[in-house]
Copies of this chain bind each other. A is one copy, B any other.
Amino acid sequence: LTVLSPTELEAALRAIGAERYHNRHPFHRMLHSGGCTPDQVRAWALNRYYYQAQIPAKDSALMARLPTAELRRIWRQRIVDHDGDQANEGGIARWLRLTDALGLDRDYVISGEGLLPATRFAVDAYVNFVSTRPLTEAVASSLTEMFSADIIRDRVSGMLKHYDFVDSKALAYFESRLSDAPRDADFALAYVQEHALTEKEQEAALDALRFKCGILWTLLDACSYAYVSPGEPAPGAWRPGEHLVSSQR
């Protein structure tokens, strides 16, 4: 018998995080420890904005496939968290406070014009995955949230300590995620434990989490290649110093 118990399945999911979650990426270590230039923090925030902005698309695609009002009500909270109830509320709006604080032109950030191509491909792959794979895999791909509390705590304290161009208001996004992410992860983990019952389903759920770790890792690979010395942004992508509001130029 190679079917895992719920506890064993959780342990196998956590082992994937320990190997593949993006807290292990050199760029993240650099970001948290104060090793990034302002332009490198800008590049990261600009590219990561596209991920944030597409999360409600991802969650809407998943919600479209949930079979009951009860499940949809629970999943809907994720969309409320990111989109807010009115303008200037919610996770996307809070992320824009960070790019504002970094001096990036807000319209340019929202336009997506300056994204690295790999950012767009990776994020779109996530939305496609959730739209087309079996529901248990789609839910499992969200389980990077099991690992996010530690990285966010490191990020907030590291960024406040090391970068004088970042203050706690600019990091409001992360404060909200500290409470939202564990709540979301608990539900998703229980769902996967309840629905991935065969060896094949469990392996597919583990693969879904590996896939998702690859998304987050790719965003940092792309920022590293493009913006860490010597730095070679793809043609058309944002270049350091560009699209800053006048006070930051």
Interface residues of A in 202-230 (CB under 8 A from B): 210-211, 213-215, 217-218, 221-222, 224-226
Q: Which of A102-135 contact B (CB under 8 A)?
A: 116-118, 120-122, 124-125, 128
Return the contact of A125 from the options B24, B125, B217 (Cβ within 8 A).
Answer: B125
Enumerate A125-163 residues with CB–CB distance to B below 8 Å.
Answer: 125, 128
Q: Is the interface of A mostly helix, strand, loop or mixed?
A: helix
A123: nearest chain-B partner, CB-CB: B121
Q: Which residues of B contact A67 (CB under 8 A)?
A: none
Judge whether A234 and B210 touch: CB under 8 Å. no
Indicate if the CB atoms of A124 and B128 lie closer than 8 Å: yes
Q: Which of B218, B232, B235 contacts A234 (CB 8 A)?
A: B218
In the bound complex, how far is the Cα of B121 from the Cα of A124, in angstroms? 8
Docked CA distance A217–B115 (Å):
13
Q: Is the CB of A117 within 8 A of B218?
A: yes
Taking beta carbons and an 8 Å cutoff, which residues of A are in contact with B?
19-20, 24-26, 116-118, 120-122, 124-125, 128, 210-211, 213-215, 217-218, 221-222, 224-226, 232, 234-236
Between-chain CB contacts (< 8 Å), 17 pairs: A20-B234, A20-B236, A24-B235, A25-B232, A26-B232, A117-B122, A118-B121, A118-B221, A120-B125, A120-B214, A121-B122, A121-B124, A210-B236, A218-B222, A221-B221, A221-B222, A221-B226
